[in-house]
Structure 1
Amino acid sequence: MEPDIQQLDRVFLEIGPLTIYWYGVIIAVGAMLGLWLAQRESVRRGLPKETFLDLVLYAIPIAILSARAYYVIFQWDYYSQNPGDIIKIWEGGLAIHGGLIGAILTGYVYARKRHLSFWKLADIAAPSIILGQAIGRWGNFMNQEAHGGPVTREFLENLHLPKFIIDQMYIDGVYYHPTFLYESLWNLTGFFVLLALRKVNLKRGEIFLSYCVWYSIGRFFIEGLRTDSLMLTENLRMAQFISIVLIIAAIITWVVRRLKGYANTRYLDQDQGY
């Protein structure tokens, strides 16, 4: 017989017909905290105070749309039969890689329009992005999604997890791997690693490239535990494939920028060149 299980409500607040879900609240908190950190750092790096506030006005909605589009495309068999569900982002279904693609492209266009260094913006934003991802995974926790395969309660207790996490991982009579937690902790560790790399004063672009490598390594292995992955082939998950591509692309970009002299400016330098 299972012990007393108390699960958390997905709903944060209901006001008449309006329902606000924890999923959205948590993602918003992660985005706002990330913006605050990026704004503070951008001022220290000699950029106008409003640089990142202006950027996120474009980047956040585009990232949400691209994250949803990415997810819907790879689940088209379902959404083609249920088109009304495409807009239901409060139920989950925002693919991080899709969001990153949208945000990075937006950042590149924004930098060109404002005559700023894209790599400088990316370096400043990298810790904020991974911190937002660490926080955002708790939205998956509230939705009881992005979990791994079945485990026993004893397994979860042996991880010394608090009861509220163990209880929330009890879904339809089965306990599951809290992969949301694994990734959240990996990303949180990466946040502190990237902050430390600022002091190392790497060449421009290399903090962002370090983010790509760090996040992708963790995502590759954690994704292998999940049961709700978007699949590329029978044995390869789409997120794992993208992670491999990102790691290779980041390393190649790092080497080429150094060899070609494109990265002579360092992170702590104040100029705004490309």
Structure 2
Amino acid sequence: MIHPQFDPVALHIWGPIQIQWYGLMYLAGFVAGLYLGLWRARKQAWRGFTPEQVQDLLFYIVVGIIVGGRMGYVLFYNLEQFFQNPLYLLRIWEGGMSFHGGFIGVALAVILFARKTGKPIFAVGDFVAPLVPLGIFFGRLGNFINGELWGRPTDVSWGMIFPQVDSLVRHPSQLYQMAGEGLGLFILMWWFSQKPRPHMAVSGLFMVGYGVFRTAVEFFREPDAHLGIRALGFLTQGMILSIPMILVGVLMLAWAYRRGQMNMLPPAVPSPAKKKRTGKPGKGKRT
């Protein structure tokens, strides 16, 4: 198979003004997160999350993803270029976002939102965690459309040639990440968060799940050319950033189940109201 070589520009509006597929994928992820967040606030018994708070929280998260994702990309993958030209950090139009930087940005956003609303930090984190994988799904789809973050050479039958790179058959690692970090992690997180879980457990599982999926796919994804293999003959930058997530997530899960403090309460089933018969007609009274 050959990569379809999509035009990264979805819509040419006028002159230099254009809408790119990658930006639309980010928008799709934010819309999906908002919809699911509003659904959870209405249908599930999470403590004190109103639709208005979900919308405010999404704004915090969007800012955290954009700022953190860009800073993470520069600091984790292009630090030398930043030292040569610090303004490189602001050149977002040239592309370059990092999940791990975005994750740190979202974590800070969760902390700021929790402090503003007076909610426990991990109550907010546990609410947000199941919404994130769909955003990752659309982000990796954007990577595939752009033909970036390609995989290592392979001889598997589903391998793909990326003409913009070379003529070698490579793993379509963007699709692997879309299926694992995106769809697979979403199914896992959504199933896990449907029932009451100990405080911090949902956040911990997200860190473990993402770290495992990302570390596994790094064996098939081509390392960044300017970084290569970082250590031990196989560790890539993505692995180095993901393995600590797994360790921290395991500790969070262990601590959560040891404490046993429930974060999500089961829905309350209202008992049917009993009407009193007075024998006299009268107006209802609001309470």
Same fold (TM over 0.5): yes
Code of the residue aligned with 2:113 in structure 1: it is: Y
**Match status 1:215 vs 2:210:** yes
**How does 1:1-12 map onto structure 2 within 5 Å?**
6-12=4-10
Residues 134-165 of structure 1 deviation map (CA, whole Å, 9 limit, x = unaligned): 1110111122111111235xx3xx33x8xxxx
Aligned to 2:174: 180
Structure 2 residue matching 1:171: 3-state secondary structure: coil
Do the aligned partners of residues 207 and 33 (structure 1) sit closer, same or farther apart at CA in structure 2, a change above 3 Å counting?
A: same
1:207: how far off? 1.6
Count matched residues. Answer: 257
Q: Is the 8 A contact 2:5 2:145 kept in 1?
A: no
Aligned partners of 1:142, 1:84: CA distance in 2, in Å? 28
**How does 1:31-70 map onto structure 2 within 5 Å?**
31-44=30-43, 45=46, 46-70=48-72
Do the aligned partners of residues 47 and 84 (structure 1) sit closer, same or farther apart at CA in structure 2, a change above 3 Å counting?
A: closer
* Higher Rg of the two aligned structures: 2
**How does 1:160-239 map onto structure 2 within 5 Å?**
166=160, 169-174=162-167, 175-186=169-180, 187-229=182-224, 233-234=230-231, 235=233, 236-239=235-238
Aligned partners of 2:3, 2:178: CA distance in 1, in Å? 24
Moved more, 199-208 or 133-142: 199-208
Aligned partners of 2:199, 2:266: CA distance in 1, in Å? 9
Aligned partners of 1:88, 1:151: CA distance in 2, in Å? 34
Structure 1 residue matching 2:108: 3-state secondary structure: helix
Do the aligned partners of residues 89 and 176 (structure 1) sit closer, same or farther apart at CA in structure 2, a change above 3 Å counting?
A: farther
1:221: how far off? 1.5
Moved more, 6-15 or 132-141: 6-15
Q: Is the 8 A contact 1:194 1:210 kept in 2?
A: yes
Aligned to 1:131: 134
Structure 2 segments unaligned to the other structure (5+ residues): 269-287
Code of the residue aligned with 1:214 in structure 2: it is: G
Aligned partners of 2:170, 2:140: CA distance in 1, in Å? 15
| CA RMSD after TM alignment | 2.6
Q: Is the 8 A contact 1:42 1:51 kept in 2?
A: no
Moved more, 22-31 or 200-209: 200-209
Aligned to 1:114: 117
Q: Is the 8 A contact 1:21 1:90 kept in 2?
A: no
Do the aligned partners of residues 95 and 85 (structure 1) sit closer, same or farther apart at CA in structure 2, a change above 3 Å counting?
A: same
**How does 1:86-125 map onto structure 2 within 5 Å?**
86-125=89-128
Structure 2 residue matching 1:150: 3-state secondary structure: coil
Aligned partners of 2:262, 2:228: CA distance in 1, in Å? 40
Going by fraction, where is helix more abundant, 1 or 2?
Answer: 1
Q: Is the 8 A contact 1:147 1:228 kept in 2?
A: no
Code of the residue aligned with 2:172 in structure 1: it is: P
Percent of aligned pairs with the same residue?
28
From 71, 74, 84, the counterpart of 1:72: 74
Structure 2 residue matching 1:12: 3-state secondary structure: strand
Aligned to 2:264: 267
TM-score (norm 1): 0.83
Q: Is the 8 A contact 2:68 2:101 kept in 1?
A: yes
Q: Is the 8 A contact 1:204 1:265 kept in 2?
A: yes
1:194: how far off? 1.4
Aligned partners of 2:29, 2:54: CA distance in 1, in Å? 15
Aligned to 1:28: 27
Aligned partners of 1:208, 1:39: CA distance in 2, in Å? 19
1:245: how far off? 0.8
Aligned partners of 1:145, 1:135: CA distance in 2, in Å? 14
1:18: how far off? 0.8
Structure 1 residue matching 2:242: 3-state secondary structure: helix
Code of the residue aligned with 2:125 in structure 1: it is: A
Aligned partners of 1:194, 1:140: CA distance in 2, in Å? 23
1:265: how far off? 1.7
